[in-house]
């Protein structure tokens, strides 16, 4: 009995590709399901990785060694306060490198001019600030200049980023703050680690005490420490700032909020990946359905090949290859679309574009696995058809 001819791998691929070329519209629609799932998963991971990269860049630029000290609540109820000398006492702690303070002035509101109704303050506040505030917080002056020893004694002000945008003011103009005019000398860039400064109008400590009835009690003390001494300094800040009542002092690390946001992003990414996996599963079902219908429609072809000497294994291999090629087309297209979406969104947000290599390679591997699983049953079913049964249809 003659042995059946063996097909080379290239021959199997050509035979499988011929089946796809004969039905282009069905191929496109079936591959679309795979492409959507892989594109969703690639884009979700890529956008998340780009966001984390931007967050890591911000943390590296701003530093994680900033601690803030603020008043808490008294034991008997009511708001506590920090003593005026708390800034000097914190500065004497050995590992502390920089100390600055800001003090909110109660009932002092900010308006574009003196004609705006008092109820329309927009939540903008007035804060007294020490001269070394930008360096300690890590915020840049976007326009104009910061306060100096001279302007801190006169009605001069620096606007936070939100305040300047909301009021539409720039250096050289005037702002109506706490019932009097202040000349705007600068505008700050957004303060990632001190967002309360964005909606503030900052004036010098001396002018706040002489013209605005500021009591000299800081509401926030910003402390930069040595990188390797953050936790030890954090442990002693409360007692240092207010030795008589350390329990009424709150100490926080602003970078913790950014780290928490990163953890939230990871959880959200997991949810979106789950949705992408569902889309991929639906695409796999679509491939399986396409291959089952293809077997039913091509029974005559299968019978002819069997009668000409094709073995069950060759027929089975043909349909498995068709399924793999169909899934591969969808997977590659999905990876390309996912990378494109990641690049577009990251560029719009001005983030670095980061698409992990394992995502691109893993996406293609996953599609091949899906294709193999989806095409296995139709391939086995095709191989079981006898030549006489197939040709009788």
The rounded average pLDDT for each run of 10 residues, N- to C-terminus, in the chain (393 residues) is: 59 68 76 81 82 75 82 80 92 92 91 87 91 92 95 95 94 93 95 90 95 92 89 90 90 73 62 67 70 68 69 76 83 89 89 83 81 76 67 56
Q: Looking at residue 1, what is its pLDDT?
A: 45
Q: Are 167 and 183 in contact (CB under 8 A)?
A: no
Neighbour tally for 303: CB within 10 Å: 20
The residue written with tokens 């069950």 in the block is: 312
* Strand ranges in the chain using DSSP code E only, listed in sequence order: 66-71, 96-111, 125-129, 141-144, 156-159, 174-177, 180-188, 200-204, 220-225, 249-252
What are the CB-based long-range contacts (under 8 Å, 24+) for 74-80?
74/245, 74/248, 75/245, 75/247, 75/248, 80/242, 80/245, 80/248, 80/249
Give residue 393's pLDDT.
Answer: 53
Residue 122's pLDDT is 83
* Closest residue by Cα to residue 258 from 47, 66, 41: 66
Report the distance separating Cα 108 and Cα 182, nearest Å: 13
The answer to whether 354 and 56 have CB atoms below 8 angstroms apart is: no
Report the pLDDT value the prediction gives residue 223, as an integer from 0 to 100.
93
- Structural domain spans, the chain: 9-59+259-391, 66-252
> What is the model's pTM?
0.62
Chain-centroid distance, C-alpha 7? 51
Distance CA 303, CA 299 (A): 6
CA atoms within 13 A on the CB side of 272: 18
Which phi and psi angles does 73 have, rounded to 5°? -120, 140
- Distances, alpha carbon 302 to alpha carbons 145, 307, 379, 380, 392, in Å: 81, 9, 11, 12, 11
Please, which residues have CB within 8 angstroms of residue 289's CB and are 6 or more apart in sequence?
30
């Amino acid at each position: 009995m003659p042995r059946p001819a063996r097909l080379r791998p290239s021959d199997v691929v050509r035979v499988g590709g011929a089946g796809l070329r004969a039905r282009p519209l069905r191929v496109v629609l079936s591959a679309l399901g795979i492409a959507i799932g892989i594109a969703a998963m690639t884009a979700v991971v890529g956008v998340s990785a780009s966001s984390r990269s931007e967050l890591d860049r911000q943390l590296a630029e701003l530093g994680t060694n900033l601690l803030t000290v603020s008043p808490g609540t008294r034991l008997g109820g009511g708001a506590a306060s920090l003593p005026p000398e708390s800034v000097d006492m914190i500065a004497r702690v050995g590992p502390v490198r920089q100390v600055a303070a800001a003090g909110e002035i109660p009932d002092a509101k900010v308006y574009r001019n003196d004609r705006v109704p008092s109820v329309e303050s927009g939540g903008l506040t007035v804060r007294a600030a020490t001269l070394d505030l930008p360096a300690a917080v890590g915020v840049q002056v976007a326009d104009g200049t910061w306060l100096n020893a001279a302007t801190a004694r006169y009605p001069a002000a620096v606007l936070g980023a939100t305040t300047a945008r909301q009021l539409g003011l720039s250096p050289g103009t005037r702002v109506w703050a706490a019932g009097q005019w202040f000349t705007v000398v600068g505008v700050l860039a957004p303060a990632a680690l001190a967002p309360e400064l964005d909606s503030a109008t900052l004036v010098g400590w001396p002018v706040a005490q002489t013209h605005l009835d500021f009591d000299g009690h800081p509401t926030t003390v910003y402390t930069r420490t040595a990188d390797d001494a953050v936790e030890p300094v954090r442990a002693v800040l409360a007692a240092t700032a207010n030795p008589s009542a350390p329990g009424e002092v709150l100490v926080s690390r602003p970078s913790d909020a950014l780290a928490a946001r990163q953890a939230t992003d990871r959880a959200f990414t997991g949810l979106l990946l789950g949705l992408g996996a569902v889309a991929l599963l639906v695409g796999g079902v679509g491939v399986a359905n396409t291959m089952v219908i293809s077997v039913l429609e091509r029974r005559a072809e299968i019978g002819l090949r069997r009668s000409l000497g094709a073995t069950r294994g060759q027929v089975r291999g043909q349909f498995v290859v068709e399924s793999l090629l169909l899934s591969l087309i969808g997977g590659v297209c999905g990876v390309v679309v996912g990378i494109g979406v990641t690049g577009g969104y990251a560029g719009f947000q001005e983030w670095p574009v980061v698409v992990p290599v394992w995502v691109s390679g893993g996406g293609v591997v996953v599609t091949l696995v899906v294709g193999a699983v989806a095409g296995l049953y139709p391939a086995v079913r095709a191989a079981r058809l006898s030549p006489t049964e197939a040709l009788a249809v």
